[in-house]
Structure 1
Amino acid sequence: MITVLVIDDHNMLRGALCEILDRESDITVVAQAADGRAGAEYAARLHPKVVILDVEIPGGDVVQNLLTLRDVSPESRVLIVSMHQDMALIRDLVEYGIAGYLHKSAKRETLLSAIRAADAGGEMVVYVSWQEDKRSVAGDRDPLPDPTLTDRELEVAEQVAGALSNRQIANALGITEGTVKRHLRNIFRKLGAVSRLDMVNRATAAKLIAPYPAETASYPPE
């Protein structure tokens, strides 16, 4: 059974989330809290397998709350949720070992998958919302499909944005060219991209990766 602690100061959203989780046969919510202090007290006593932590709650900023949770329950995996998609903040939180970062627009299936991956010690999942500027990202095309990229896919996307070839990316990340191609196929599918340049433009517009100077935008073929 995956034990979960939910820390979110929005009572209605927190209650709805807990109801969704408790419907799952392999997940149980052991406690819920509206602020960082109460959340830390529950974590220290219950040692949940997964903590769902909202970015903006009373009782300290998200980094302080994250460090406190690590101190009182080091085995708990922390899954960050937020209404914002600040990629600089996400990168900072990754350094503190979060299990994942989900925008609150994420579907139920995405949340459940992230919780199970966190419990299993799987790869970190980042999900951000496309709602802020779909038109500027997708132009006249259909809305972008699945905005979930793993941390490795984000690394590959950043290398592509730097105009590296598949071989250079493989060397930089210590993986094979075949693995790079597999990650690229997944990224193209998730972003609805048709070329490396199109992929970079979509990932940049969605703030998944930082923009690169125009002079680096000479992309090798797929």
Structure 2
Amino acid sequence: MIKVMVVDDHELVRTGITRILNDAPGIRVVAEAASGEEAILVASTKNPHVVLMDVSMPGIGGLEATRKLVQLLPKLKVLVVSVHADEPFPSRMLKAGASGYLTKGCAVEEIITAIKVVAGGERYIGADIAQTLALKRTPGGASTPFDNLSPREMQVMLMLTQGQKTQVISDKLCLSPKTISTYRHRLYEKLGVASDVELARLAMNYGIIETIGGATTL
């Protein structure tokens, strides 16, 4: 039996996925979580084999949660299920330790197949995501200003575009407020912006967030 945890900040999404998976032979949902922080706490006690991870969530989000989960529980597999099909998210999540990546538009059968594949120790990438990654590797392939950010810079950027304050980010990432301010100014320089609002607008232009001050995507 493959034990699964579903992580998504939308209760309707979690409930729907849980019902579908509990009807699938050989799979059982043992836990749900509404944030990256909750996922880390719950996974430590429920010990799922596979975590279905959303990307855009309040707090530390799916990127940092994935990185921490695979460090804390090396045998655990993270399968991303997100609305984000475009870069930089697929590459970032896979580099953070995810074993697979699907979009929320995929068929139910593909989610079930992907869970079984990653639980068996292999990687599973949806066809649309595989195409995105392949195009990026070709000469002249699509790139974004965010491709050159370090993993930590990317995490801070996502939290800033959610409207989170310096002290809140500092507390959640266990870094000093001064360090967060340094990351903010470094982001401004790398991305050619002068404020958090400009940063959020740039992120919106590349489809990284849906609205300024917080993601609204399912």
Same fold (TM over 0.5): yes
Counterpart contact for 2:79–2:118, Cα < 8 Å: yes
- For residue 57 of structure 2, what is the amino acid of its counterpart? I
In structure 2, distance between residues paired with 1:48 and 1:78? 10
TM-score by structure 1 length?
0.57
Equivalent position of 1:87 in the other structure: 87
Larger-Rg structure: 1
Structure 1 consecutive aligned stretches of length 4 or more whose deviation exceeds 6 Å? none
What do the CA deviations read for 1:115-146 (whole angstroms, capped 9, x no partner)?
Answer: 11110112331344xxxxxxxxxxxxxxxxxx
Equivalent position of 1:78 in the other structure: 78
- For residue 114 of structure 2, what is the amino acid of its counterpart? A
Equivalent position of 1:11 in the other structure: 11
1:10 is displaced (CA, Å) by: 0.9
In structure 2, distance between residues paired with 1:11 and 1:41? 18
Specify whether residues 112 and 150 from structure 1 end up closer, same or farther in structure 2 by C-alpha distance, changes over 3 A only: farther
- For residue 119 of structure 2, what is the amino acid of its counterpart? D
Match runs of 1:23-42 below 5 Å: 23-42=23-42
Secondary structure of the structure 2 residue equivalent to 1:71: helix
- For residue 111 of structure 1, what is the amino acid of its counterpart? I
1:13 is displaced (CA, Å) by: 1.3
Structure 1 unaligned residues grouped into runs of 5+: 129-147, 164-222
Aligned length: 141
1:48 is displaced (CA, Å) by: 0.8
Equivalent position of 1:105 in the other structure: 105
What do the CA deviations read for 1:52-80 (whole angstroms, capped 9, x no partner)?
Answer: 01001122132211122123322110011
Secondary structure of the structure 1 residue equivalent to 2:98: coil
Equivalent position of 1:135 in the other structure: none
Equivalent position of 1:43 in the other structure: 43
Identity of aligned residues (%): 31
What do the CA deviations read for 1:66-120 (whole angstroms, capped 9, x no partner)?
Answer: 1221233221100111112122221122222311111100100111111111101
In structure 2, distance between residues paired with 1:51 and 1:123? 14
Equivalent position of 1:20 in the other structure: 20
Secondary structure of the structure 2 residue equivalent to 1:87: coil
Equivalent position of 2:183 in the other structure: none
Counterpart contact for 2:8–2:57, Cα < 8 Å: yes
Secondary structure of the structure 1 residue equivalent to 2:71: helix
Match runs of 1:1-222 below 5 Å: 1-128=1-128, 149=130, 155=134, 161-162=138-139
TM-score by structure 2 length?
0.58
More helix by share: 2
What do the CA deviations read for 1:163-208 (whole angstroms, capped 9, x no partner)?
Answer: 9xxxxxxxxxxxxxxxxxxxxxxxxxxxxxxxxxxxxxxxxxxxxx
Counterpart contact for 2:3–2:28, Cα < 8 Å: yes
Alignment RMSD (CA, Å): 2.4
In structure 2, distance between residues paired with 1:99 and 1:80? 8
In structure 1, distance between residues paired with 2:88 and 2:37? 25
Structure 2 unaligned residues grouped into runs of 5+: 141-218
